[in-house]
């Protein structure tokens, strides 16, 4: 591992740690930077109206569904950011390229978080409305599993796209 790769990793870890520290104590109001655009995408995709409830999040009264701080996707954003930085640092040959990678990874991670969260919530709404459950799969567990599936798919897509853009050639070894 080169010193430049280590520097990218250190910056990514430091930024991630700071964001995680912020998120772990943030309520709905300070997380509007991620909740509000997510809600706009969900409303656009589903036609479901949400209203802002101070200190709580966004509420759909018609569906009795809340998009709260736990739905912000900040943990996914952190994972996506670190994956891009760690996975693509080796493609950078200069300081400028490394700075560009970190900034592009932050932007791509934020955009992917918004899309992934909107997709996850749009899929969760009809499951919530139907009260879907299958034996030990309670509605809460189904909601969690659906979220994991959407996040994994989106993480794979953003990394694959970024690797192609960066010209990186990766083989996944299982």
CA separation for the pair 87, 162 (Å, rounded) = 10
pLDDT at 1: 65
Contact indicator for 124, 68 with CB cutoff of 8 Å: no
Neighbouring-strand partners of residue 60: 65
171 belongs to a structural domain:
no
Share of the chain above pLDDT 70, in %: 95
Residue 170 reports pLDDT greater than 70: no
Tokens of 147: 């979220």
139 belongs to a structural domain:
yes
Residue 171 reports pLDDT greater than 60: no
Residue 45 reports pLDDT greater than 60: yes
pLDDT in tens, 66-89: 889 988 899 999 999 999 999 999
159 belongs to a structural domain:
yes
Tokens of 146: 């659906």
71 belongs to a structural domain:
yes
Contact indicator for 4, 95 with CB cutoff of 8 Å: yes
Count of other CB atoms within 10 angstroms of residue 84: 26
CA separation for the pair 103, 167 (Å, rounded) = 17
CA separation for the pair 62, 158 (Å, rounded) = 33
CA separation for the pair 108, 112 (Å, rounded) = 6
CA separation for the pair 42, 114 (Å, rounded) = 10
Which tops the pLDDT comparison, 70 or 167? 70
134 belongs to a structural domain:
yes
173 belongs to a structural domain:
no
pLDDT at 173: 36
Domain that holds residue 39: 3-166
Residues 22-51, mean pLDDT to the nearest whole number: 94
CA separation for the pair 31, 22 (Å, rounded) = 10
pLDDT in tens, 104-138: 999 999 999 999 999 999 998 887 777 777 778 78
Q: How many domains does the chain have?
A: 1
């Amino acid at each position: 591992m080169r010193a430049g790769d280590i520097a990218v990793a250190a910056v990514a870890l430091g930024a991630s740690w700071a964001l995680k520290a912020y998120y772990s104590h943030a309520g709905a109001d300070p997380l509007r930077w991620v909740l509000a655009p997510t809600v706009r995408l969900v409303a656009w995709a589903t036609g479901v109206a949400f209203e802002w409830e101070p200190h709580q999040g966004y509420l759909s009264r018609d569906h009795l569904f809340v998009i709260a701080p736990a739905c912000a996707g900040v943990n996914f954003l952190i994972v996506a950011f670190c994956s891009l930085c760690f996975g693509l640092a080796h493609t950078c040959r200069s300081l400028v390229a490394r700075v560009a990678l970190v900034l592009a990874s932050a932007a791509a991670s934020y955009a992917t978080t918004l899309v992934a969260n909107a997709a996850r919530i749009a899929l969760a709404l009809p499951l919530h409305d139907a009260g879907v459950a299958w034996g030990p799969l309670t509605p809460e567990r189904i909601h969690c599993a659906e979220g994991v599936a959407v996040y994994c798919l989106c993480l794979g897509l953003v990394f694959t796209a970024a690797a192609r853009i960066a010209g990186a050639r990766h083989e996944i070894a299982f």
